[in-house]
A and B are shown apart, each in its own frame.
Chain A
Amino acid sequence: MEYFIQQLINGISVGSIYALIALGYTMVYGIIKLINFAHGDVFMVGSFIGLYSAKYLANAGLPPIVVLLLSLIISMTISALLGISIERLAYKPLRKSTRIAALITAIGVSFLLEYTGVLILGPQAKGFPDIMDKKQYHLFGSSIQVESNQIMILLTTIILMLVLQYIVRYTKTGKAMRAVSFDVEAARLMGINVDRTISATFAIGSALAAAAGVIFGMTYNSVDPLMGVMPGLKAFVAAVLGGIGSIPGALVGGLLLGTVETEISSLGFSSWRDGVAFAVLILILIFKPSGLFGKNVREKV
Chain B
Amino acid sequence: MKKINKKFWLGILIALAFYGIVKVLLTTGVLSDVNQSMLLLIGVNIMLAVSLNLITGITGQFSIGHAGFMSVGAYTSAILTLDYNVPFIPAILAGGLLAAVFGVLIGMPTLRLNGDYLAIATLGFGEIIRIIMLNTEYVGGASGLSGIPAKTTWTMLFFFTLISVVLINNFIRSTHGRACIAIRENEIAAEAMGINTTRYKIIAFTIGALFAGMAGGLSAHTFYVITPGSFNFLKSFEIIVMVVLGGLGSTAGSIVGAVFVTLLYTYLREFPEWRMIIYSIVLILMMIFRPSGLLGVSKFSFFKFSKKEAKANDAIESSGTP
Contact = CB atoms under 8 A, between A and B. Distances in A.
Nearest to B131: A275
B113 interface: yes
Contact of A118 (B113, B117, B273): B273
A108 B289 CA distance: 14
A275 B127 contact: yes
A2 interface: no
**Main SS of the interface on chain A?**
helix
Contacts of B275: 115
Contacts of B237: 107
A285 B283 CA distance: 30
Given A98-B291, A281-B120, A282-B124, A301 B188 contact: yes
Contact of B124 (A35, A107, A244, A281): A281
B193 interface: no
A159 interface: no
Interface string B284-316: 100110010000000000000000000000000
Interface residues of A, number: 42
A279 B128 contact: yes
Contacts of A118: 273, 276
B190 interface: no
Contact of B273 (A94, A97, A109, A119): A119
Interface in A89-130: 90, 93-94, 97-102, 104-105, 107-112, 114-116, 118-119
Contact of B277 (A98, A105, A116, A282): A116
A271 B135 contact: yes
A108 B281 contact: yes
23 contacts: A93-B288, A101-B287, A104-B244, A105-B284, A107-B241, A109-B280, A109-B284, A111-B277, A114-B276, A119-B274, A119-B277, A233-B233, A237-B124, A240-B120, A275-B131, A278-B124, A282-B109, A282-B110, A282-B125, A285-B121, A285-B124, A286-B112, A301-B188
Contacts of B241: 104, 107
A274 B284 CA distance: 29
A133 interface: no
B274 A274 contact: no
Contacts, number: 122
A299 B191 CA distance: 14
Contact of B240 (A98, A104, A237, A244): A104
Contacts of A64: none
B183 to A, nearest CB: 14
Contacts of A99: 115-116, 321
B288 to A, nearest CB: 5
B109 A35 contact: no
Interface string A259-299: 00000000000011011001101100110010000000001
Contacts of B113: 285-286, 289
Contacts of B39: none
A56 B275 CA distance: 32
B322 interface: yes
Contact of B131 (A98, A240, A274): A274
Given A100-B62, A101-B244, A108-B287, 9 more contacts: A90-B284, A100-B240, A100-B321, A104-B241, A236-B120, A275-B127, A275-B131, A289-B112, A289-B113
Contact of B117 (A107, A115, A119, A285): A285
A34 to B, nearest CB: 9
B134 interface: yes
Chain B CB within 10 A, most for which of A94, A108, A271: A108
Contact of B288 (A90, A111, A114, A115): A90
A75 to B, nearest CB: 23
Counting from the closest, the 6 A-B pairs by CB-CB distance are: A108-B283, A111-B280, A275-B131, A115-B276, A278-B124, A101-B291
Given A105-B288, A281-B120, A271 B134 contact: yes
Interface string B101-129: 00000000110110111011101110110
Nearest to B234: A229
B121 A108 contact: no
A232 B88 CA distance: 40
A233 B321 CA distance: 25
B224 interface: no
B264 interface: no
Nearest to B290: A101
Contacts of B56: 100
B128 A275 contact: yes
B218 interface: no
A102 B115 CA distance: 14
Given A90-B284, A107-B283, A285 B131 contact: no
A133 B217 CA distance: 53
Contacts of A299: 188
